[in-house]
Chain A
């Protein structure tokens, strides 16, 4: 009778399944990983922080990268893997409808993974460099304590990077509406 049908094409469902499965596997790996396991994402992040802020870090076995001069530890929990999962899932779920064949869907998944990794390293380095500045300044904002400000700063940096990544990817894939 002309009702609305919410049919999801098989290809889009396959992309969603791959994305959610990869996200679940990465989340399970991350929950048990130590600093050595996360070297592939912590090392380039810390290198970028050192380049941008001049603060030196050294690897403390199993604990992360420590700046003794600033008493600042980049621990496994600060690796940004959750952000990488969010970025990858957003790209795959948000842009799957722009794909018209198996090739473009494969490109979306692989390109999404690469873009999510690169954006995570950049965003996390920016977040840590800004956190170092805030720590040095001893800044507190209104009712927020320094720890709460650190949390808010992290959310703001990550989310802006996420929106920029998603908008750029949407433009590349030809979506012209609803992305801002």
Chain B
């Protein structure tokens, strides 16, 4: 399992979520369980709880100090932050710059 090939374009964390939903919600529905009342209750709880946990997981990972941008959206070579001359800023909204 050496170097990763740069093919991933979606957050990989979606893979376990999709597998979980597929096995616990979609597969029973395909097998005919969707007609029962208990199924809808189970599906709502499963989608709600797992979706909420995944959102929290993604939010926590973005708030982590060492978190990096996904490779698909990262620029290479990295752009250095440059000082911007105040006078060179053009306002596009037509508002006057505050003095």
| Contact pattern, A 32-72, Cβ under 8 Å of B = 1, otherwise 0 | 00000000000000000000000000000000000000000
Task: Report yes or no: B1 in contact with A99, Cβ–Cβ below 8 A.
Answer: yes
Chain B interface, number of residues (Cβ within 8 angstroms): 37
User: Contact between B15 and A90 (Cβ–Cβ < 8 Å)?
Assistant: yes
Given contacts A174-B1, A178-B12, A180-B61, contact A163 B54 (CB under 8 A): yes
By beta carbon, the residue of chain B nearest A166 is: B16
**A interface residues, how many (CB within 8 angstroms):** 40
- A97 and B16 contact, Cβ closer than 8 Å, known pairs A86-B23, A159-B50, A163-B54: no
Q: Determine chain A's interface SS by DSSP, over half rule.
A: helix
- Which of chain B's residues 1-32 have a Cβ closer than 8 Å to chain A? 1-5, 7-8, 10-13, 15-17, 19-20, 22-24, 27
**A89 proximity list for chain B (CB < 8 A):** 19, 23
Q: Which residues of A contact B46 (CB under 8 A)?
A: 151, 155
- Which one of A87, A108, A162, A174 has the highest number of Cβ atoms from chain B below 10 Å of its Cβ? A162
Query: Residues of A contacting B1 with CB < 8 Å?
Result: 95, 98-100, 104, 107-108, 172-174
Closest 5 A/B residue pairs (Cβ): A180-B61, A94-B15, A90-B16, A173-B1, A178-B11
